Chain A
Amino acid sequence: MHFGPHLLLAALEGLVTSAVLALTALGLSLVFGVMRIVNVAHGEFFMLGAVLAWAISTAISGHPAIGFAAALVIAPLLVGLVAFLAEWLVLRRLNYNPESTIVATIGMLYIIQQLALTFYGPEARPVEPPFSYRILLPWFGYSGYKLSVVAASAILLVITWLVLTRTKIGMIMRATQYDRETAQAFGIPVERVYAGVFAVGAMLAAIAAVLIVPISQAHYLMGQDPLLLSFIVVIIGGLGSLRGTVVAAVLIGLSDGIISMFFSPTLAKIIATLVVAMVLVFRPQGLFGTAPR
């Protein structure tokens, strides 16, 4: 294959990775930013979204698009509920202590993963895409669904940005993030905000998973890679910065696609991790983060 088409394919693949990564990492970044909690179980909420998407889409007969649409609405809501309960049952009891919550979310990671193995099983199961249009380029074919994932993710990111910057809920969240005590003094129900943010963070991961599951199947171990990449993105982009998260996700996704196609996937991971190390050394607050006061 010639260089041009080769690069195009690499960029397309990178964009799909970026799109899913941006949503997942945004969820992690919100929780990280507002609650100061390192949610190690974030990848498992992603996995749970995919597994539920499979369950919902197989339960509904008819055109695959109906099942997929139902999954896109119901799966994130269920995952949000699980996260809400986890927050109420576990994190709140630990007073959101940073060290304890890391250990607690590691525990949640294993519990969710093993429950999925017990009730869903070890198989990778496919979800039918809502439509299967193959875009025929002169050099190769490409999945139309993959491109629609990029579009859907972009729309969702814009919506999240609007909610955060233009609504009262967004303002309350930002106030809590900025200074918890002052926010509480102004009558903001901080605990409720925390519960909500934790649920929304998990829902973003679940939405990303529902979008990706027609491309790569639902499997109980699928949460590991997104977790690692999300941490990389959040560290590079900066804590709680939406813009930073998106820029870093596109950067990591594209470089992963292009480097792994022209060189090797391992090199792409090495470079991403190296970038994280460099960012931590020279700009610990991330590219777009604000330095702690």
Chain B
Amino acid sequence: MADKNGFFDLSKTTLSRRTALKGIAAGAGLALAPGFVRYSQAQSSAPIRIGFQSHRTGIGAAYGRWYEKTSAAAVKAINDAGGIAGRKVELVIEDDGTDPARGAEVVNKFAKQHKTDIVFGTLFSHVVIGSAPAAGENKIPYFVVSEGHHVASTKLNRYVFQPGITDVKSQIQSMAPWIAANAGKKVTQIFPDFAFGYDHRDYLPPALKAQGADVIAQIAIPPTESSFTKYFPQIPAETEVIYHVMVGPAVLTFVKELGEFYGSQRPQLFGFMDSLEATDINSPGLEFLDGSHFWEGSPRYAQPDDSAAQKAYRAAVGIDDNGAAVGDPKDVSTASHMFGCWETLYVVKKAMEDAGYKGPEDRAKLVEATEALKEFAEGPEHPQGPKTFNGKIHQCFGIQNISKVEGGKLKVVHKTKIEDGLYEPEGDYTTQAL
């Protein structure tokens, strides 16, 4: 036997369990100790590290994947053009499971362990609301792409920003006149039973009232529901418009069952694209949607009047004219929302360069520089359209698209103006201490 000393025989080595445990504990302590992470002292040449809180798993997973693709494309474009103030940008991705508790953990991890410069990228409103306190405690700027009204409500804290996508209150306010004038005056609302849905529940009725229309019923559906027919009898018979906004994996079932319930004698339908993000509108059972209208943040289908910037953005992210991944027509994107990641990263670039940002010690300067921003011109950095930014409520304002389902595609029939979506600020983050 070659192994005379029992070198390879674990039972004969002197490594006792206690020694092994000590070793593991020491190793773990070392890994957790401050200063273990490289670049804890940012040098001018070190990359800018952006913590990306991604919905890789859980009900937001389809969005998470496309948010990652878009952000990766934006980071590549920024780096190819010289980075932020000459420094390379690097994304550090952590999965939050589309879960508020894990979201807060992830923000803590970015701040304490990865020591990223900022945190970025969250969509689902309950995760944003759950994570925002952690961002405030760690004093780390938190740039979300969520479209909920929570940031603009000034109920979060000074470190939370939403500069790349408009909020629900503004979206509703700018579209209500079109709904009242073109779809109908008696509206039944169907929305998910959590924060994002409550924005719709709370802001649609006053917005429609101002246009002489009424919300006659509001139906809240749990976000994990998988079957919807049981809710439809609650829709009053005199309904002229069904206003639907659903999220999660069962959205297609929702639309299909609505089709089975009503057949061709349906009320007008006005939906938020959230009801069908990452879903092919030509899926079996969706013929029923033909002729209905949708809100779109950024149009899924290429439009005849697309700007050069919009075309370049679509090519960079890798989506074709139908809004699906280039080379895989079945892999439909979340085009209506994901542009916000692209635009937010360019806002971060602008704010960091304005602030002369060097490293985590300059985070407060970055907050102030972001608050000082006023407007973003339409162009390669803001392909969805021009925007204004209100530094007091940390929220941008922009145009909305209303699209009609026609011949298996979505055609933009109306674009709102920035002014349509402006409202009185509900507070002022800049009065909070940094």
Contact = CB atoms under 8 A, between A and B. Distances in A.
Contacts, number: 91
Contacts of B229: 9, 13
B253 A129 contact: no
Contacts of A222: 226, 249
Of the candidates B224, B249, B257, the one having the most CB atoms from chain A within 10 angstroms of its own CB is: B249
B253 A217 contact: yes
Interface in B327-372: 331
Contacts of B252: 124, 126, 217
Question: What's the interface size class on B, roughly?
Answer: 35 or more
A216 B227 CA distance: 7
Interface stretch (B3-11, B54-62, B404-412): B54-62
Contact of B222 (A140, A143, A266): A266
B230 A257 contact: yes
A79 to B, nearest CB: 20
A221 B233 contact: no
A187 interface: no
A136 to B, nearest CB: 7
Contacts of B256: 126, 215
Nearest to B227: A216
Question: What's the interface size class on A, roughly?
Answer: 35 or more
B284 A128 contact: yes
Interface string A104-139: 000000000000010001111010110010101000
Contacts of B249: 123-124, 217, 219, 221-222
Given A124-B251, A141-B260, 6 more contacts: A122-B64, A124-B279, A129-B284, A134-B263, A140-B261, A219-B250
9 contacts: A5-B233, A17-B227, A121-B62, A124-B279, A129-B284, A136-B263, A216-B226, A216-B227, A265-B222
Interface of B: 56-59, 61-62, 64-65, 222, 224-227, 229-233, 237, 249-253, 256-257, 260-263, 278-279, 283-285, 331
Interface of A: 1, 5-6, 9-10, 13, 17, 64, 117, 121-124, 126, 128-129, 132, 134, 136, 140-143, 215-217, 219-222, 225, 257, 260-261, 265-266
List of 9 A-B pairs having minimum Cβ-Cβ separation, nearest first = A122-B61, A124-B249, A128-B284, A219-B249, A261-B230, A1-B233, A143-B260, A141-B263, A216-B253
